[in-house]
Chain A
Amino acid sequence: SQKIEQNSEALNIQEGKTATLTCNYTNYSPAYLQWYRQDPGRGPVFLLLIRENEKEKRKERLKVTFDTTLKQSLFHITASQPADSATYLCALSGGGYQKVTFGIGTKLQVIP
């Protein structure tokens, strides 16, 4: 069955460093992959989308890579700030009208 893996353990990093979060998947051929941010008590907020034919996408301090051979996406936050502390969700879809499947998310804590 399709499986999405994100590190369920929290990631703690020092302010100013680069945070790298991992999303691995199996038994899946996603057409695209999305990253969302979720703060406690709130709904997820869309950050970035990357398609299967794209290797890398950037937006301000965020960078996403997508390796369909390794079946892995990496999400980077450079020059991290305490305000970046949140849970980050990876989401995949086969495209078209196929449903989006979310991972369990990784909690990031940026320490001042």
Chain B
Amino acid sequence: EAGVAQSPRYKIIEKRQSVAFWCNPISGHATLYWYQQILGQGPKLLIQFQNNGVVDDSQLPKDRFSAERLKGVDSTLKIQPAKLEDSAVYLCASSLSSGDTYEQYFGPGTRLTVT
């Protein structure tokens, strides 16, 4: 079974530039999550999709971050404009269904450096 795919693996941008991350979840997984993990901290949920609907985006900085999940499969997370404090690893995860609390499967993450 293929795991969660993410691209790019690394990205370096200057502040005020924009960046986009892509995620392909495990086939059949209805729930998709985007997390931000700052060095030395645990993953922080940014947005959670159930199929292509948003379940939770309470911690997403909506003035600069946006995410979409078209057709309930792939997802993209965008930052525009980026700030220095956005430097972090952005993790995508998927699970069968959050309604019954299935475990999450994580991708390798995208390491973003904002200079």
8 Å CB contacts to A: which residues of B81-115?
Answer: 91, 93, 98-99, 101, 103-109
Residues in A neighbouring B42, C-beta threshold 8 A: 4, 89, 91, 102-105
A65 adjacent to chain B (CB < 8 Å)? no
Contact A99 B108 (CB under 8 A): no
Contact B101 A49 (CB under 8 A): yes
A45 adjacent to chain B (CB < 8 Å)? yes
Interface size on B, residues (CB 8 A): 26
A25 adjacent to chain B (CB < 8 Å)? no
Residues in A neighbouring B107, C-beta threshold 8 A: 43
Contact A97 B55 (CB under 8 A): yes
Residues in B neighbouring A91, C-beta threshold 8 A: 42
Q: How many A-B residue pairs have CB under 8 A?
A: 58
Name the residue on B nearest A91 (C-beta). Answer: B42
A31 adjacent to chain B (CB < 8 Å)? yes
Name the residue on A nearest B56 (C-beta). Answer: A99
A105 to B41, CA, bound (A): 7
8 Å CB contacts to A: which residues of B1-56?
Answer: 4, 33, 35, 40-45, 48, 50, 55-56
Most B CB within 10 A of own CB, among A43, A46, A95? A43
Contact B109 A97 (CB under 8 A): no
